[in-house]
A and B are shown apart, each in its own frame.
Chain A
Amino acid sequence: MSGAMNLLIGLAMGLSLLALASSRLPSVIRAAAFQGMILGTLPLLLEEKFHWLVVAVALGTIAVKGFIIPNLLRRALRAANIDREVEPLLGFVPSLLLGAAATIGAAALASELPLRPEHAKSLLVPGAFATVVCGFILLIARTKAISQVCGYLILENGIYLFGLLLINSTPLLVEAGILLDLTVAVFVIGIIVDRIQREFDTLDTRKLTSLRE
């Protein structure tokens, strides 16, 4: 039970490092989507007894994070006719090493925290910290708006992983609200991407600093 869960969380941690190392936008989107789907299945493993609400939350998460959001991003990519290369501010090797250092740091930090005994052996807490930091690195170290969205998605995945600690006391409404927020945010970013593309003929967010009245 917890072995399978730790395997999935470990896989998700690996996927956030893969997103840091990949040099093409579609593969970054794929990594973020796949990570969302893996984390979406976790509530099914975490809950001992079968409950239709938990199944609904898991299915909703998988559908939104695994299919709807990546499709929105791919559509934005196609519509804005973006060059598929990621343009890193920080090179791939340094960002990968930073992500790995964050993962190891998260594992070390989690063993110092006073966790409840049922969470002490699981990778939930270190996985959450590592995914949040990897999302931040992706958000900071890339110039294109689409890869920043992927960083934001990975960041949200980390927060979701943290929320799984409280799965028994989180109402369904909160989960649904978070998913809705996320979809709207990606939707809005899709529109912004289109605008930036039309205005500057590029997706480089550094150009936004030169906006004038």
Chain B
Amino acid sequence: MMTALDIFLRLAAWLLLAPLLPGLINKVKAWVAGRRGPPVLQLYFDLAKLWRKGVVLSTAVSPAHIIGPAVAWIAILAAALLLPVGPAGAALSFRGDALLFVYLLAFARFSIALAALDTGSAFEGMGVAREVSYAVLAEAAIITALLTLCVQSGSVSLATMLAPAAGAGAALLAAGLFGVLLAENCRVPFDDPNTHLELTMVHEAMVLDHSGPPLAAILHGAALKLLLFAVLLTEAVLPLGKLSLLQAIGALGAAVLVIAVAVGLVESLLARLAFRRVPLLLTTAFLFCLFALLVAWKGATP
């Protein structure tokens, strides 16, 4: 009974808090630009509106077009449940769940890509090709980051991996994971979430043909993924496991807020990178994680 309540509370927290993060980022961007900006709760209104609308389907699509976003949304939510929250641990935890975490995120991307390819539009295919080619490099970085945490703690379970502080390599790991966060969530140096110009869209091109509830699932899934990466980054760097539950939740909230402000500032101050420069930046993020791994390995064998 207690575990059911625990899982329910966690699910509610993830689902309800996730759409807050894009609103915060937009507020920071508006604030830097001197505008008033949309309200922080804008994404909640958008999701409610989309949920009430009907679905417009092309005659060419198969059921995969609808199922894809739903499967992706569930996969991201399952990955979120694997992440521990400070001393409370994760809702689901077993040996090797770090691998499942990586695969769930990859599966979510695969489902959305499949749903996009299902429309048969060449334009969506282009979006998918771009998104997946970024993901190849970003995944190398995140797997290296998880490997670093494995080497540091000598464990392959997220609950014990994320508990201790990352030590000397923490700054490197934070820089690498922040780069991955920006790339995976299609934020500015890699992709512009606001653009709807055909030639420059990456993620937006992929979800162009979705409407109504499936689009709501995709948008909510994207917000969830942003929160997921922010929590992962925080827990990989800060020793939340050593604090009491209330302190840990407070520190986690503050850190996620700082990350949201940082993303907003990056988006306001940086221009989007030229397409051919993106692999260089992703390689840099990968190298940050790799050097964190080197520091962890050198630290382990004195």
Q: Provide the main secondary structure of the chain A interface.
A: helix
Let me know if A92 and B280 touch, CB within 8 A: yes
CB distance from B302 to the nearest CB of A (A): 7
Q: When the two chains form the complex, which single residue of A96, A100, A111 contacts B280, counting CB atoms closer than 8 Å? A: A96
* B294 on the A face (CB < 8 A): yes
Q: Which of B104-112, B187-195, B215-223, B282-290 forms part of the interface with chain A?
A: B282-290
B282 and chain A: residue at smallest CB distance: A93
Does A24 lie at the interface of the complex (its beta carbon under 8 Å from any beta carbon of B)? no
From A92, A96, A111, A121, B287 is in contact (CB under 8 Å) with A96
- Determine if B302 and A121 form an interchain contact, defined as CB atoms under 8 angstroms apart: yes
Q: Is the CB of B290 within 8 A of A104?
A: yes
Which bracket fits the contact residues of A?
10 to 19
Give chain A interface residues in 122-151, CB to chain B under 8 Å. Answer: none
Question: Nearest Cβ distance between residue B108 and chain A, in whole angstroms?
Answer: 27
List residues of chain B with CB within 8 A of the CB of A21: 280, 284
A97 within 8 A of partner (CB): yes
Count of B interface residues, CB-CB < 8 Å: 12
**CB distance B294 to A96 under 8 Å?**
no
Identify the closest chain A residue to B283 (Cβ). A93
Q: Say yes or no: A96 contacts B301, CB within 8 Å.
A: no
Measured between beta carbons, the chain A residues less than 8 angstroms from B298 are 107, 111
Cβ B294 vs Cβ A97 within 8 A: no
Would A107 and B283 count as touching, CB distance under 8 A?
A: no
Q: Are the C-beta atoms of B302 and A96 separated by less than 8 Å? A: no
Residues of B within 8 A of A107 (CB): 294, 298
> Which B residues lie within 8 Å of A97 (CB)?
283, 287
A96 to B294 alpha-carbon distance, docked (Å): 16
Residue of A nearest to B302 (CB): A121
> Which residues on A sit within 8 Å (CB–CB) of B277?
23
Within 8 A of B (CB), among A1-44: 17, 21, 23
- List residues of chain A with CB within 8 A of the CB of B96: none
9 CB contacts below 8 A, A to B, read: A92-B280, A93-B279, A96-B280, A96-B283, A96-B284, A100-B290, A103-B294, A104-B294, A111-B301
Q: Knowing that A104-B290, A107-B298 are A-B contacts, what are 7 other residue pairs whose CB atoms are under 8 Å apart, sorted by A's residue number?
A: A93-B280, A97-B283, A100-B287, A100-B290, A100-B291, A103-B291, A103-B294
